[in-house]
Amino acid sequence: MAVAREELQKDLEEVKELLTNATRKRVRDVLVAEKQKLELEIKNQPPPKPKDVAEEEKSSLGGYTVKINNYGWDQSDKFVKIYISLNGVQKLPAENVQVNFTERSFDLLVKNLNGKNYTMTFNNLLKPISVEGSSRKIKTDMILVMCKKKREEKWDCLTQVEKESKEKEKAAYDTTDPSEGLMNILKKMYAEGDDEMKRTINKAWVESREKQYKGDIPMDI
Domain residue ranges in the chain: 1-44, 65-149, 175-213
162: amino acid identity, one letter: E
Q: Computed over its alpha carbons, how large is the radius of gyration of the chain? A: 33
Supply the pLDDT for residue 120.
94
Give the confidence band of 16 by pLDDT, cuts at 50, 70, 90.
confident
Q: Which fold has domain 65-149?
A: Immunoglobulin-like (2.60.40)
Smallest CA-to-CA distance from 155 within 110, 104, 106, 205 is with: 104
Span 143-164, average pLDDT: 93
Contacts of 151 (CB under 8 A, 6+ apart): 127, 128
pLDDT at 96 over 70: yes
pLDDT at 46 over 70: no
Q: Which fold has domain 1-44?
A: DNA Excision Repair, Uvrb; Chain A (4.10.860)
Supply the pLDDT for residue 59.
46
- Could you tell me the sign of the dihedral formed by the alpha carbons of 63, 65, 66, 71, in that order? positive
Smallest CA-to-CA distance from 97 within 115, 82, 83, 112 is with: 112
> 55-86 burial, b for 16+ CB within 10 Å, e for fewer?
eeeeeeeeeeeeeeeeeeeeeeeebbebebeb
